[in-house]
């Protein structure tokens, strides 16, 4: 547990410094887009990323990969320097946490509420627009909704934001029914 808290604090410090550097250069929106792409890329190629983040890999090799990445996808100097610093300090394994915290800090700075919605099937565009409108009105802030399709919810919708959760899924209703039935016996 201590290690996880320490990792989170370390990741938060990198994310805060990264966002601060981007804001100093008036480039936070562009860097935010890079961070989202990195976050997505890291999760899509987790095995490759974990290999590069391994302490067995030399820092020199890691820096070469980052330099190549900077040229290939045209990373900003801010992002490239952050990645180099993270690599030099042997913290590349924390990049998923760092990027997640960067996104959270960016949204907080912009006054945006991040919402997570789970459904059994992909929501139609009209449903997404309606949910966004409702959440914006209820929260009185702009929202960004992250959708996830999870067949195990069976039907309905689960919505999470901040420390709140609204779970109107068939799965949760069946679980409540099961608790009720087992309590009576």
Residue in this structure with the two tokens 């139609």, named with its chain if needed: 124
Instruction: State residue 4's pLDDT score.
Output: 60
Q: Which residue stretches of the chain have pLDDT < 50?
A: 1
Name which of 75, 87, 110, 104 is nearest 15 in CA terms: 104
Tally of CA atoms within 13 A in the half-sphere of 30 that contains its CB: 13
Instruction: State residue 184's pLDDT score.
Output: 63
Tokens of 182: 């087992």
Instruction: State residue 137's pLDDT score.
Output: 94
Instruction: State residue 18's pLDDT score.
Output: 97
Edge-first strand order for the sheet with 113-119 is 143-149, 113-119, 156-161, 164-169
Instruction: State residue 177's pLDDT score.
Output: 77
Instruction: State residue 100's pLDDT score.
Output: 93
Tokens of 7: 């990792």
Instruction: State residue 71's pLDDT score.
Output: 83
Name which of 148, 41, 49, 38 is nearest 103 in CA terms: 38
pTM of the model: 0.80
Instruction: State residue 5's pLDDT score.
Output: 62
CB neighbour list of residue 22: distance below 8 Å, 6 or more residues apart: 28, 30, 31, 32, 78
The rounded distance, in Å, linking the Cα atoms of 75 and 161 is 31
The rounded distance, in Å, linking the Cα atoms of 155 and 172 is 10
């Amino acid at each position: 547990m201590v290690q996880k808290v320490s990792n989170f604090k370390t990741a938060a410090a990198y994310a805060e410094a990264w966002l601060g550097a981007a804001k100093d250069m008036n480039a936070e929106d562009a860097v935010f887009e890079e961070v989202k792409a990195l976050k997505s890329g890291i999760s899509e190629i987790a095995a490759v990323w974990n290999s590069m983040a391994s302490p067995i890999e030399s820092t020199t090799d890691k820096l070469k990969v980052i330099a190549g990445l900077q040229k290939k996808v045209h990373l900003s100097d801010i992002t490239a320097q952050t990645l180099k610093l993270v690599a030099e300090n042997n913290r590349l394994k924390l990049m998923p946490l760092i990027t997640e915290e960067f996104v959270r800090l960016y949204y907080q700075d912009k006054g945006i509420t991040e919402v997570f919605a789970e459904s059994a099937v992909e929501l139609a565009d009209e449903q997404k627009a309606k949910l966004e409108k409702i959440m914006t009105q209820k929260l009185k802030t702009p929202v960004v909704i992250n959708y996830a399709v999870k067949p195990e919810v069976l039907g309905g919708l689960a919505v999470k934001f901040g420390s709140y959760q609204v779970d109107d899924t068939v799965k949760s209703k069946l679980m409540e029914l099961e608790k009720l039935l087992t309590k009576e016996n």
